[in-house]
Every structure is written in structure tokens, then in C-alpha cells.
């Protein structure tokens, strides 16, 4: 069964600093990978996705992520964090086989941004 691990439960960075959120997945075939962001009490918004091709994908709000098959990772990065980036971030892997396509989510990383 597929699974997603986000090793960091909570990360604190200063505004303007760079950010990297880690995501490791377990899946036998080529994964479909996603990063979502959730503000408190809100739904999830898609930041970016990887299906195939270029392993460095660009998303909204200045985020990017790199797929590394050899490390089973899909880490999210941003060169300079803004206070508005404070939120919870979820990595997800999609099942690329079978008749019913579903997502499996990690448990999330809460990002705090200090002024």
C-alpha cells in the first residue's frame, strides 16, 4: 500500500529565509505527487503536482518541488518565505493503477513564520 511520510511536524522559519519541507513516499510504481496548503479552518489548496517529465516542478505562490526517485522524495522549497506562508502543508501520493484513483496524504507539516 502506498504511504507518505512528512518527517517534520512543525517548522519555524524567519520571514525572508529559505524553506524546505520534506516528503517521502512509498509506492511501487511511478507516483503521482502533490503538495497542498491549508490555512487554519479552511480547505486545502493545491500548490503543485508532479505526474511525469521534468523532475523540478513549479507551483503557485513561488513554491517549487523536486521529485527524486532514488530517494523516494518530493520536497517542497521556497527561496524566501513570506508571513502569509504560515499554514499547514500536506504532501500526497496518488495511485496510478487500478480502477479507482485515490490520494494518500501525509500527516502534515505546520509552518510558523517569525517576523
Partner 1 sequence: DGGITQSPKYLFRKEGQNVTLSCEQNLNHDAMYWYRQDPGQGLRLIYYSQIVNDFQKGDIAEGYSVSREKKESFPLTVTSAQKNPTAFYLCASSPTSTTPGEQYFGPGTRLTVT
Q: Which residues make up the interface to partner 1 (CB under 8 A)?
A: 9, 32, 34, 36, 41-46, 49, 51, 90, 94-96, 99-103, 105-108
Nearest distance from residue 104's CB to partner 1, in Å?
A: 8
What does the radius of gyration of the chain's CA atoms come to, in whole angstroms? 14
Nearest distance from residue 50's CB to partner 1, in Å?
A: 11
CA distances from 107 to 3, 22, 58, 98 (A): 10, 12, 23, 24
Nearest distance from residue 91's CB to partner 1, in Å?
A: 9
Nearer to partner 1, 17 or 101 (CB): 101
Backbone angles phi, psi at 44, to 5 degrees: -95, 145
Amino acid at each position: 500500500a502506498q504511504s507518505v511520510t512528512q518527517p517534520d511536524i512543525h517548522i519555524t522559519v524567519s520571514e525572508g529565509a529559505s524553506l524546505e519541507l520534506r516528503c517521502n513516499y512509498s509506492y511501487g510504481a511511478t507516483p503521482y505527487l502533490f503538495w497542498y496548503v491549508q490555512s487554519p479552518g479552511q480547505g486545502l489548496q493545491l500548490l503543485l503536482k508532479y505526474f511525469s517529465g521534468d523532475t523540478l516542478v513549479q507551483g503557485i505562490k513561488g513554491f517549487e518541488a523536486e521529485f527524486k526517485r532514488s530517494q523516494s522524495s518530493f520536497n517542497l522549497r521556497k527561496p524566501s518565505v513570506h508571513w502569509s506562508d504560515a499554514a499547514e502543508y500536506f504532501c500526497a501520493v496518488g495511485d496510478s493503477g487500478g480502477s479507482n484513483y485515490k490520494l494518500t496524504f501525509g500527516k502534515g507539516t505546520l509552518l510558523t513564520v517569525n517576523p
